[in-house]
Amino acid sequence: MTKYLKFDTPAIRHAKDLASDYKLSNHGLVHLDQVFWNLPVPALYEEAVFRGEGNIVNGGPFLVNTGKWSARAANDKYVVKEHSTEDRIWWGEYNRPMSPEKFSGILMRLQAYLQGEELFVQDLYSGTDPDHRMPVRIITDKAWQSLFARNMFVRINDQDELKRHVPEFTLIASPSFKLDPRIDGTRSETGIILNFASRLAIVAGTSYGGEIKKSIFTVMNFLKPL
Protein backbone atom coordinates (compact mmCIF):
# COMPACT_ATOMS: atom_id res chain seq x y z
CA MET A 1 0.00 0.00 0.00
CA THR A 2 2.80 2.44 0.84
CA LYS A 3 4.32 2.09 -2.62
CA TYR A 4 1.02 3.08 -4.25
CA LEU A 5 0.02 5.79 -1.78
CA LYS A 6 2.83 8.02 -0.63
CA PHE A 7 1.95 7.89 3.05
CA ASP A 8 2.18 5.31 5.80
CA THR A 9 -0.49 2.76 6.62
CA PRO A 10 -1.81 2.69 10.23
CA ALA A 11 0.46 -0.13 11.47
CA ILE A 12 3.65 0.77 9.62
CA ARG A 13 5.47 2.05 12.72
CA HIS A 14 4.85 -1.24 14.53
CA ALA A 15 5.31 -3.61 11.59
CA LYS A 16 8.49 -5.21 12.96
CA ASP A 17 7.88 -4.95 16.70
CA LEU A 18 6.79 -8.61 17.01
CA ALA A 19 9.06 -10.11 14.36
CA SER A 20 10.62 -13.56 14.59
CA ASP A 21 14.35 -14.04 14.09
CA TYR A 22 13.37 -16.72 11.57
CA LYS A 23 12.87 -14.35 8.65
CA LEU A 24 10.90 -14.72 5.42
CA SER A 25 14.13 -15.16 3.48
CA ASN A 26 14.10 -18.71 4.89
CA HIS A 27 11.04 -19.27 2.69
CA GLY A 28 12.66 -17.68 -0.35
CA LEU A 29 10.67 -14.46 0.07
CA VAL A 30 13.06 -11.58 -0.53
CA HIS A 31 13.09 -7.99 -1.82
CA LEU A 32 9.78 -7.29 -0.11
CA ASP A 33 8.32 -3.81 0.30
CA GLN A 34 7.16 -4.30 3.89
CA VAL A 35 6.42 -7.18 6.25
CA PHE A 36 3.83 -6.78 9.01
CA TRP A 37 4.71 -9.23 11.77
CA ASN A 38 2.10 -10.68 14.13
CA LEU A 39 -0.17 -7.66 14.18
CA PRO A 40 -2.89 -7.88 16.85
CA VAL A 41 -6.59 -7.90 15.95
CA PRO A 42 -7.28 -4.13 16.21
CA ALA A 43 -4.30 -3.33 13.96
CA LEU A 44 -5.39 -5.91 11.38
CA TYR A 45 -8.92 -4.47 11.38
CA GLU A 46 -7.43 -1.02 10.77
CA GLU A 47 -5.16 -2.21 7.98
CA ALA A 48 -7.92 -4.18 6.25
CA VAL A 49 -10.28 -1.19 6.31
CA PHE A 50 -7.54 1.22 5.21
CA ARG A 51 -6.73 -1.03 2.24
CA GLY A 52 -10.37 -1.33 1.20
CA GLU A 53 -10.39 -5.11 1.63
CA GLY A 54 -13.90 -5.14 3.08
CA ASN A 55 -16.23 -3.42 5.52
CA ILE A 56 -16.98 -3.54 9.24
CA VAL A 57 -20.68 -4.30 9.58
CA ASN A 58 -23.17 -3.96 12.44
CA GLY A 59 -21.88 -5.71 15.56
CA GLY A 60 -18.22 -5.66 14.49
CA PRO A 61 -17.66 -8.49 11.97
CA PHE A 62 -15.42 -7.74 9.01
CA LEU A 63 -17.26 -8.52 5.77
CA VAL A 64 -15.31 -9.47 2.64
CA ASN A 65 -16.30 -10.59 -0.83
CA THR A 66 -14.23 -13.64 -1.73
CA GLY A 67 -15.21 -13.49 -5.39
CA LYS A 68 -15.51 -16.69 -7.38
CA TRP A 69 -14.88 -18.94 -4.40
CA SER A 70 -17.32 -18.68 -1.48
CA ALA A 71 -16.47 -22.20 -0.31
CA ARG A 72 -13.61 -24.67 -0.60
CA ALA A 73 -12.28 -25.59 -4.02
CA ALA A 74 -12.18 -29.30 -3.18
CA ASN A 75 -11.35 -30.36 -6.73
CA ASP A 76 -8.27 -28.13 -6.77
CA LYS A 77 -6.46 -29.68 -3.81
CA TYR A 78 -3.06 -31.25 -4.50
CA VAL A 79 -0.49 -33.12 -2.45
CA VAL A 80 3.09 -33.43 -3.60
CA LYS A 81 3.79 -37.10 -4.21
CA GLU A 82 7.13 -38.07 -2.69
CA HIS A 83 8.55 -40.77 -0.44
CA SER A 84 6.71 -39.65 2.71
CA THR A 85 3.29 -39.45 1.04
CA GLU A 86 3.16 -41.87 -1.89
CA ASP A 87 1.98 -44.85 0.19
CA ARG A 88 0.01 -42.90 2.82
CA ILE A 89 -2.40 -40.78 0.77
CA TRP A 90 -5.73 -41.90 -0.65
CA TRP A 91 -5.05 -40.49 -4.09
CA GLY A 92 -8.03 -39.49 -6.18
CA GLU A 93 -10.37 -36.66 -7.04
CA TYR A 94 -9.85 -34.83 -3.74
CA ASN A 95 -6.17 -35.66 -3.21
CA ARG A 96 -4.61 -35.09 -6.61
CA PRO A 97 -0.89 -35.90 -6.88
CA MET A 98 1.61 -33.28 -7.94
CA SER A 99 5.26 -33.90 -8.74
CA PRO A 100 7.99 -32.18 -6.71
CA GLU A 101 9.20 -30.57 -9.93
CA LYS A 102 5.81 -28.97 -10.65
CA PHE A 103 5.61 -27.70 -7.07
CA SER A 104 9.10 -26.20 -7.26
CA GLY A 105 8.15 -24.36 -10.44
CA ILE A 106 5.02 -22.92 -8.85
CA LEU A 107 6.90 -21.91 -5.70
CA MET A 108 9.62 -20.12 -7.65
CA ARG A 109 7.05 -18.16 -9.64
CA LEU A 110 5.20 -17.26 -6.44
CA GLN A 111 8.42 -16.09 -4.78
CA ALA A 112 9.12 -13.88 -7.80
CA TYR A 113 5.52 -12.66 -7.90
CA LEU A 114 5.66 -11.48 -4.28
CA GLN A 115 8.86 -9.46 -4.66
CA GLY A 116 8.15 -5.81 -3.99
CA GLU A 117 4.86 -6.62 -2.22
CA GLU A 118 3.66 -6.09 1.34
CA LEU A 119 3.06 -9.27 3.33
CA PHE A 120 1.43 -10.13 6.65
CA VAL A 121 2.83 -12.86 8.88
CA GLN A 122 1.17 -14.66 11.78
CA ASP A 123 3.26 -17.02 13.90
CA LEU A 124 0.84 -19.28 15.75
CA TYR A 125 0.16 -22.74 17.10
CA SER A 126 -2.21 -25.31 15.67
CA GLY A 127 -3.55 -27.25 18.65
CA THR A 128 -3.68 -26.28 22.31
CA ASP A 129 -1.97 -29.24 23.99
CA PRO A 130 1.68 -28.22 24.60
CA ASP A 131 2.81 -31.80 23.91
CA HIS A 132 1.12 -32.03 20.52
CA ARG A 133 0.59 -28.54 19.16
CA MET A 134 2.45 -27.51 16.03
CA PRO A 135 4.13 -24.13 15.48
CA VAL A 136 2.88 -22.77 12.17
CA ARG A 137 3.38 -19.65 10.07
CA ILE A 138 0.69 -18.10 7.90
CA ILE A 139 1.94 -15.64 5.26
CA THR A 140 -0.67 -13.64 3.36
CA ASP A 141 -0.80 -10.60 1.10
CA LYS A 142 -4.14 -9.52 2.58
CA ALA A 143 -4.63 -8.05 6.06
CA TRP A 144 -8.04 -9.69 6.45
CA GLN A 145 -6.63 -13.16 5.78
CA SER A 146 -4.02 -12.52 8.47
CA LEU A 147 -6.90 -11.57 10.77
CA PHE A 148 -8.70 -14.79 9.82
CA ALA A 149 -5.61 -16.86 10.69
CA ARG A 150 -5.14 -15.02 13.99
CA ASN A 151 -8.73 -15.79 14.94
CA MET A 152 -8.51 -19.42 13.84
CA PHE A 153 -5.29 -20.61 15.49
CA VAL A 154 -3.68 -20.24 18.92
CA ARG A 155 -2.00 -16.88 19.41
CA ILE A 156 1.38 -16.29 21.01
CA ASN A 157 1.28 -13.30 23.34
CA ASP A 158 4.87 -13.39 24.59
CA GLN A 159 7.25 -11.21 22.58
CA ASP A 160 10.31 -13.36 23.40
CA GLU A 161 8.47 -16.50 22.30
CA LEU A 162 7.50 -14.83 19.03
CA LYS A 163 11.13 -13.84 18.50
CA ARG A 164 12.20 -17.48 18.85
CA HIS A 165 9.33 -18.92 16.78
CA VAL A 166 10.39 -21.38 14.08
CA PRO A 167 7.47 -22.90 12.16
CA GLU A 168 7.17 -26.62 11.58
CA PHE A 169 4.78 -25.90 8.72
CA THR A 170 4.31 -22.73 6.68
CA LEU A 171 1.41 -21.66 4.47
CA ILE A 172 1.59 -18.90 1.85
CA ALA A 173 -1.75 -17.55 0.64
CA SER A 174 -1.90 -15.22 -2.37
CA PRO A 175 -5.38 -14.98 -3.92
CA SER A 176 -4.20 -12.89 -6.87
CA PHE A 177 -1.47 -15.37 -7.88
CA LYS A 178 -2.97 -17.56 -10.60
CA LEU A 179 -1.74 -20.97 -11.66
CA ASP A 180 -1.39 -21.84 -15.34
CA PRO A 181 -2.84 -25.28 -16.13
CA ARG A 182 -0.73 -25.48 -19.29
CA ILE A 183 2.48 -25.19 -17.26
CA ASP A 184 1.48 -26.51 -13.85
CA GLY A 185 -0.71 -29.45 -14.86
CA THR A 186 -3.51 -28.17 -12.63
CA ARG A 187 -7.23 -28.30 -13.29
CA SER A 188 -7.66 -24.52 -13.15
CA GLU A 189 -5.98 -21.29 -12.02
CA THR A 190 -6.73 -22.27 -8.42
CA GLY A 191 -4.56 -24.57 -6.34
CA ILE A 192 -4.31 -25.65 -2.71
CA ILE A 193 -1.03 -27.54 -2.65
CA LEU A 194 0.54 -29.33 0.32
CA ASN A 195 4.18 -30.37 0.29
CA PHE A 196 4.96 -32.47 3.35
CA ALA A 197 8.62 -32.93 2.39
CA SER A 198 9.29 -29.19 2.48
CA ARG A 199 6.65 -28.50 5.18
CA LEU A 200 5.09 -25.84 2.98
CA ALA A 201 1.61 -25.17 1.59
CA ILE A 202 0.50 -22.78 -1.14
CA VAL A 203 -3.02 -21.38 -1.52
CA ALA A 204 -3.30 -19.67 -4.90
CA GLY A 205 -6.12 -18.26 -7.00
CA THR A 206 -8.76 -18.24 -4.26
CA SER A 207 -9.71 -15.65 -1.62
CA TYR A 208 -11.74 -18.08 0.46
CA GLY A 209 -10.22 -17.97 3.96
CA GLY A 210 -11.38 -21.49 4.83
CA GLU A 211 -8.60 -22.90 2.64
CA ILE A 212 -6.07 -21.63 5.20
CA LYS A 213 -7.88 -23.34 8.05
CA LYS A 214 -8.53 -26.61 6.23
CA SER A 215 -4.99 -26.87 4.88
CA ILE A 216 -3.45 -26.66 8.34
CA PHE A 217 -6.03 -29.10 9.74
CA THR A 218 -5.18 -31.50 6.90
CA VAL A 219 -1.51 -31.18 7.83
CA MET A 220 -2.30 -32.06 11.44
CA ASN A 221 -4.52 -34.97 10.41
CA PHE A 222 -1.70 -36.40 8.30
CA LEU A 223 1.31 -35.79 10.55
CA LYS A 224 0.01 -36.34 14.07
CA PRO A 225 -1.23 -39.94 13.71
CA LEU A 226 2.25 -40.84 12.41
Contacts of 221 (CB under 8 A, 6+ apart): none
Residues 6+ apart with CB under 8 A from 22: 165, 166, 167
Which one is the CATH code of 16-223: 3.40.50.2300, 3.40.50.1370, 3.40.50.720, 3.40.449.10? Answer: 3.40.449.10
> Which segments of the chain are extended strands (E)?
34-37, 55-56, 62-63, 77-80, 96-98, 118-126, 134-140, 169-174, 191-195, 200-204
Q: Where are the domains of the chain?
A: 16-223
The pLDDT of 201-218, averaged and rounded, is 96
Reported as a pLDDT band with limits 50, 70 and 90, residue 94 is: confident
pLDDT > 70? residue 3? no
pTM across the whole model: 0.95
Residue 1: pLDDT over 50: no
